[in-house]
Structure 1
Amino acid sequence: MTVVEVVDPRPPLDYYLLLSQRCNRDPAPVVEGIVVEEFTRHRDLSTAGLDSAGWTPTGADWWSSASFSRGMRTDRELLARVVPSSRGEAENAYRQLGGGQLPEEPVLRTYFRDHQPFATAPPLRLGPAQPPTGFHERRVYRVLFAKDLRDDQVASLRTLWQPTDNGTPRSPGSVAAGRREQGGDQFTWEVRRLGRGLAWCLDLVVLLRTDTSAALDATLYGLTDGLRQHGLIPVTTERFS
């Protein structure tokens, strides 16, 4: 009998550690909970909604709250207590807090009970309507992020993307940039601050020569998760063309 392995086409979940509030008696925060999230997306990869679940050792079970997810991105006090993490870090925290073995991702998804839908709108137009010669489509995405980047995190991004940006100069206002070509498709991106410390964004320009969206999906997720691992919290993905 042949065993066929079923591979989940969805990207991995996003994991966060929830720190305790600082106090005068113990100023160093400790991990007191875990938050797991997943964005739902339209066919063009723009954000359709957000699912989340959280766990703390004082609770009876995993809980789901759309208002908590919004607070993670808008409430400064709560935002300061949320730290992006890998699944491995979340597993360690879950075990140390007495939860045992962290459930696998299909099980974690069953704890998503309070879906937060996002308002939808037709793609805005940013840049030329027609793609350059040799490409059949041009797309522009902007991923918005909460929290802030330290100088050392910006330097780490520049080092990380250096092998793929081919010396492409950054445009005014951007702090890091990169470039990649895969299967004839071209991806160019930049990271910049929006407003006076209000948010950060990733701008990704995509020139498609092929008919597959696999490379686009993987690139958009990889860049978003890379910035998440550098300390930012993704808020939404918008499409401008």
Structure 2
Amino acid sequence: MIIDRPRPSRTLDYHLVLPAPGDPIGAGILVEEFTRQEDFCATGLQSASWTPGGGWWSSAALSLGLRADPAVLARVVPTGPAEAADAYRRLGGGELPSEVVLRTYFRDHQPIAVAAPLRLGPSRPPDGFSEQRVYRVLFAKDLRAEQVAALRRRWRTTGGGTAGSVADGRHDSGGARFSWHLRRVGHTLAWGLDVTALVRIGGADAVPAILADLTNLLRQHGLVTVTTERFA
């Protein structure tokens, strides 16, 4: 079940960075925020990292680049603010700064190219809807079999999935109808969540909220968000 709310949370994305001997990043905390268009498409990434003895430093380019480095990515664990605060305290940082303060550590911004949505398939939405949108949320890292099984139970997926997907779901919320499919993409450890939103008049506000909920759920299962694109 997905929480139904009118707008997505502004909570930052937190990650633990596990230690590795000889690695310049070391152990610490990584805090990120995607900048987004009103329709939730990602336009850029900003971040700040903290390591014991090194303080806070900002490198959005490094943050985006780690998603393509399997060795570093294996050490990055998505987490929530409470777990990040606990790790920060245990590593000697004291109390984790508030999100207002954390955003002041974002000193640079890494743009993500945004293309105009392609018009795939029929130009007219089904009867009863004013608009059809198609999104893909890309994730790095991999899912274990038990994590996929947990998602299938959560989303009440039946059968073997649809069109190559491993888990499907549906939800109606705030004047919009959503369906989604989770599948592997590319030739590396990557996943794509394809989301179709059928929107009634006045129902567009539900779209970013549901996309945020789905993204956060997959982060809770260990995936690292790469970007959010819109195809239609």
Query: Could you state the TM-score of these two structures normalised by the residue count of structure 1?
Result: 0.87
Higher relative contact order (CA 8 A, sep 6+): 2
- Deviation, 1:144, is 0.7
Over aligned residues, Cα RMSD in angstroms? 1.9
- Deviation, 1:22, is 6.0
Supply the distance in 2 between the matched residues of 1:9 and 1:46 (Cα, whole angstroms).
13
Asked if structure 2 preserves the Cα contact closer than 8 Å seen for 1:71 and 1:78, the reply is no
Task: Identify the residue that residue 83 of structure 1 maps to in structure 2.
Answer: 77
Please list, as runs of the form range in 1=range in 2, the aligned pairs for 1:149-164 lying within 5 A after superposition.
149-162=143-156
Task: Identify the residue that residue 53 of structure 1 maps to in structure 2.
Answer: 48
- Tell me the alpha carbon deviations over residues 138-169 of structure 1, each in whole angstroms, 9 at most, x when there is no partner: 0000011111111011011111112xx6x587
SS at match of 1:138: strand
Task: Identify the residue that residue 146 of structure 1 maps to in structure 2.
Answer: 140
* AA matched with 2:215: T
Supply the distance in 2 between the matched residues of 1:156 and 1:176 (Cα, whole angstroms).
10
Task: Identify the residue that residue 238 of structure 1 maps to in structure 2.
Answer: 229
- Tell me the alpha carbon deviations over residues 167-201 of structure 1, each in whole angstroms, 9 at most, x when there is no partner: 58731310111000113310001100013344110
Segments of 5+ residues of structure 2 without an aligned counterpart are 1-6
* AA matched with 2:16: L
Asked if structure 1 preserves the Cα contact closer than 8 Å seen for 2:182 and 2:193, the reply is yes
Query: Could you state the TM-score of these two structures normalised by the residue count of structure 2?
Result: 0.90
Task: Identify the residue that residue 188 of structure 1 maps to in structure 2.
Answer: 179
Asked if structure 2 preserves the Cα contact closer than 8 Å seen for 1:13 and 1:37, the reply is yes
Q: Percent identity between the aligned chains?
A: 58
- Tell me the alpha carbon deviations over residues 31-76 of structure 1, each in whole angstroms, 9 at most, x when there is no partner: 82000001001122211101100101120x2110023212320111
Asked if structure 1 preserves the Cα contact closer than 8 Å seen for 2:32 and 2:46, the reply is yes
Deviates more, 1:218-227 or 1:117-126: 117-126
Task: Identify the residue that residue 162 of structure 2 maps to in structure 1.
Answer: 171
Asked if structure 1 preserves the Cα contact closer than 8 Å seen for 2:17 and 2:30, the reply is yes
SS at match of 1:62: strand
Taking structure 1 as reference, are residues 81 and 9 closer, same or farther at Cα in structure 2, changes over 3 Å only?
closer
SS at match of 1:216: helix
Task: Identify the residue that residue 101 of structure 1 maps to in structure 2.
Answer: 95
Task: Identify the residue that residue 3 of structure 2 maps to in structure 1.
Answer: none
Task: Identify the residue that residue 15 of structure 1 maps to in structure 2.
Answer: 14
Supply the distance in 2 between the matched residues of 1:9 and 1:181 (Cα, whole angstroms).
16
Supply the distance in 1 between the matched residues of 2:88 and 2:221 (Cα, whole angstroms).
21
Asked if structure 2 preserves the Cα contact closer than 8 Å seen for 1:50 and 1:116, the reply is yes
Residues 1:214 and 2:208 aligned together: no
- Deviation, 1:21, is 1.2
- Deviation, 1:10, is 5.1
Aligned length: 223
* AA matched with 1:139: R
Asked if structure 2 preserves the Cα contact closer than 8 Å seen for 1:183 and 1:210, the reply is no
- Deviation, 1:128, is 2.0
Task: Identify the residue that residue 59 of structure 2 maps to in structure 1.
Answer: 65
Segments of 5+ residues of structure 1 without an aligned counterpart are 1-7, 24-30
Give the number of the structure whose alpha-carbon radius of gyration is greater. Answer: 1
Supply the distance in 2 between the matched residues of 1:177 and 1:238 (Cα, whole angstroms).
19
Task: Identify the residue that residue 27 of structure 1 maps to in structure 2.
Answer: none
- Deviation, 1:216, is 0.9
